[in-house]
Amino acid sequence: MMDASPFLDFYLKFHEAAAVSEANALFCERVYGKNLCQQGFAEMTHLDHLIQVTGIQAGQQVLDLGCGNGMIAEYISDRTGAAVTGVDFIQGAIHTAETRTQAKRVRLNFRVMDIAQLAFPRASFDVILSIDTLYFSDLDDSLSRMVQTLKPSGRMGIFFNQTCPPWVDLETFPRESVHPDRTDLAQALRGMHLPYQVWDYSRQDYEHAQRRKVVLAELKPLYEKEDRLFLYESYEGEANGVSHAYENGVHGRYLYRVDLAT
């Protein structure tokens, strides 16, 4: 578990800038396949696979953890007809999401909430989605809250990275932990006796990082012109980190589907 507080200022700045940056819109379109103000590594084909494996459909209640400005939640709702609730601890991002989707309020709702402190009635949702959002919370506690929030036949879809951070010595990093059944998430799921199915996205993550670097090099002048070079540097740093870890055999990215009813 990482402490989220040092990243708070960055996320506040990121969501404010990404929503209006022409460079960022072009970056997302070229790298992810569509501009949804993405920050992580989930491309459109990955999102579509997430929708498929979780079986999201019209009439269901879906919770999107760490939704940011809600564009991914909106995409999922538009594509499936499901009612999606997005939560994020960045108030400005939630305000942006609410303002943009006002006409879709019947199936899109957003709330300011720390995902480590989920506050919904029991059995509220059919599906819970976590796209790279469980790194700053106690996994056992967060999973317990997620289970309580799910209906008895509910399902979770979780994208999760297990990687050696750039500041950690490769020689001391436990390489076995990047195996899909040895990640922090997998161990937490087994500890709670939650069955899961897993898809390996490690290679796709590495290929995504290479595309990032090419597109970023092309768009750097535009980021500089906008005085938003910090967005460029953030994306580049992530791409370099993934590349270095993957090339040294210490990076894994996985999609986990967790079913309560077996």
Mean pLDDT of all residues belonging to the chain: 94
C-alpha R_g of the chain:
18
Q: Give 94-133 as a DSSP string.
A: HHHHHHHTGGGTTTEEEEE--GGG----TT-EEEEEEES-
Residue 27 has pLDDT above 60, yes or no: yes
- Spatial neighbors of 221 by CB under 8 A, at least 6 apart, are none
Judged by DSSP in three states, 254 sits in: strand
Band of the pLDDT at 6, cuts 50, 70, 90? low
**Residue 8 confidence (pLDDT):** 74
Quickly state the pLDDT bin for 103 (edges 50, 70, 90): very high
**Which range marks the domain in which residue 136 is found?**
5-259
Q: For 152-165, how does the pLDDT look when each residue is reduced to its tens digit (9 = 90+)?
A: 999 999 999 999 99
pLDDT at 55: 98
- Grade residue 81 by pLDDT with cuts at 50, 70 and 90: very high
* Dihedral (CA of 58, 44, 243, 237) sign: negative
Cα(124)–Cα(129) distance, integer angstroms:
14
Residue 80's CATH number? 3.40.50.150
Residue 262 has pLDDT above 90, yes or no: no
At 137, the pLDDT band (50, 70, 90 cuts) reads confident
| Range 65-78 average pLDDT | 97
Structural domain count, the chain: 1
Residue 5: per-residue pLDDT: 54
What pLDDT score was predicted for residue 9?
Answer: 81
What does the pLDDT average to over 124-149?
94
pLDDT at residue 75 greater than cutoff 60: yes
pLDDT digits (tens, 9 = 90+) for 175-205: 999 999 999 999 999 999 999 999 999 999 9
Please report the pLDDT score of residue 39 as a whole number.
87
Mean pLDDT of 209-221: 98
Tell me the percentage of the chain whose pLDDT exceeds 70.
97
Report residue 91 as tokens: 């108030």
